[in-house]
């Protein structure tokens, strides 16, 4: 089974590339973030033509998450139980479902904006809620993973120059501690394996030629429980999909399971 996660940065803008990518890669389940659309605007019909069912949690032009699967889509849960909300609003940042016997969460962790901002506190509280929400699934014998844009680089090696990010979000001790606490729920980062190139970043800013200069960050992650991790036979970042006109600023992260 091939499972992937991809922050598409607007599914409407990325739709032709998304459909072509699904066809060419043979992906069975894709976790999508930052759909930037309403439920009605989500391209479920186009995906259905390729054999994919869709589960969507989206409310408008910002945020939005989805799961699309050609191996089944059961027990869908929209939203994050215990979501702390931001400014009395529950943002569409999490959705979960069972696909081909594997329980999956697609998550779009809050950005945090800047240290000391209310959105930064919201980000940390959201991580706490996520850990509590996935604990039962993570501890079970069924393969389980939480995938998505975590908006945190786990280590200094996951950014092109940690000095460049000093004092900014995504690399602060508190954010990294929140991410580490999530792993304590019984999850492992399944992507840091022998990869096809060094420094497998997943995000490059559109500005200042960040992608050609490889000034990136690894913030799109796949955290699996023991059963999921044991089934992993390959994992990689599809850096090629970040190239060319009309690309998202994130690349897909792909995991192949022997299931």
With beta carbons less than 8 A apart as the criterion, state whether 106 and 94 touch.
yes
The pLDDT of 243-256, averaged and rounded, is 96
The pLDDT of 111-129, averaged and rounded, is 96
Model confidence at 61, in pLDDT bands (50, 70, 90)?
Answer: confident
Question: The whole model's pTM is what?
Answer: 0.96
Mean of the per-residue pLDDT values of the chain: 95
N- to C-terminal Cα separation, the chain: 6
For residue 121, with 0-12 CB atoms within 10 Å meaning exposed, 13-18 middle and 19 or more buried, which class applies?
middle
Model confidence at 62, in pLDDT bands (50, 70, 90)?
Answer: confident
Q: Which residue intervals of 184-241 are DSSP H helices?
A: 226-231
Does the structure show a pLDDT above 70 at 192?
Answer: no
Report domain extents, the chain.
Answer: 2-257
Does the structure show a pLDDT above 70 at 197?
Answer: no
Model confidence at 117, in pLDDT bands (50, 70, 90)?
Answer: very high
For residue 226, report the phi and psi dihedrals to the nearest 5 degrees: -60, -45
* pLDDT tens track for 34-57: 999 999 999 999 999 999 999 999
Reference 228, options 208, 257, 185, 194; nearest CA is: 257
Q: Are strands 253-257 and 2-7 parallel, antiparallel or unpaired?
A: antiparallel
Q: Which residue intervals of the chain are DSSP H helices?
A: 11-25, 44-49, 118-139, 173-183, 226-231
At the top level of CATH, the class of 2-257 is alpha beta
Distances (CA, A) of 28 to 1, 6, 7, 102, 147: 6, 13, 17, 11, 14
Q: How many residues does the chain have?
A: 259
Buried b or exposed e, range 50-66, using 16+ CB within 10 angstroms: eebbbbbbbeeeebbbb
Distances (CA, A) of 18 to 6, 138, 246: 10, 29, 11
The pLDDT of 151-160, averaged and rounded, is 94
> Looking at 18-22, 63-67, 155-159, 202-206, which range is the least confident one?
155-159
Residue with tokens 């697609």: 106
């Amino acid at each position: 089974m091939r499972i992937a996660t991809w922050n598409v940065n607007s599914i409407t803008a990325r739709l032709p590339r998304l459909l072509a990518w699904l066809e060419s890669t043979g992906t069975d389940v894709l976790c999508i973030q930052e759909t930037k659309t309403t439920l009605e605007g989500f391209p479920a019909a186009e995906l259905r033509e390729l054999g994919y069912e869709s589960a969507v949690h989206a409310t408008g032009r910002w945020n939005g998450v989805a799961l699309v699967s050609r191996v089944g889509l059961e027990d869908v849960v929209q939203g994050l139980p215990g979501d702390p909300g931001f400014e009395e609003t529950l943002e569409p940042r999490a959705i979960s479902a069972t696909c081909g016997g594997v329980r999956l969460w697609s998550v779009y962790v809050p950005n945090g904006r800047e240290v000391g901002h209310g959105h930064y506190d919201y980000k940390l509280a959201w991580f706490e809620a996520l850990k509590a929400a996935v604990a039962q699934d993570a501890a079970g014998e069924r393969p389980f993973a939480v995938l998505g844009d975590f908006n945190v680089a786990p280590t200094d090696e996951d950014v092109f120059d940690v000095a460049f990010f000093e004092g900014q979000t995504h690399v602060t001790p508190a954010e990294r501690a929140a991410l580490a606490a999530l792993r304590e729920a019984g999850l492992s980062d399944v992507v840091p394996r022998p990869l096809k190139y060094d420094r497998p970043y997943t995000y490059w800013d559109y500005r200042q030629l960040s992608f050609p200069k490889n000034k990136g960050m690894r913030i799109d992650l796949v955290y699996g429980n023991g059963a999921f991790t044991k089934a992993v036979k390959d994992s990689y970042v599809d850096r090629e999909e970040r190239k060319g006109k009309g690309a998202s600023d994130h690349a897909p992260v792909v995991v192949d399971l022997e299931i």
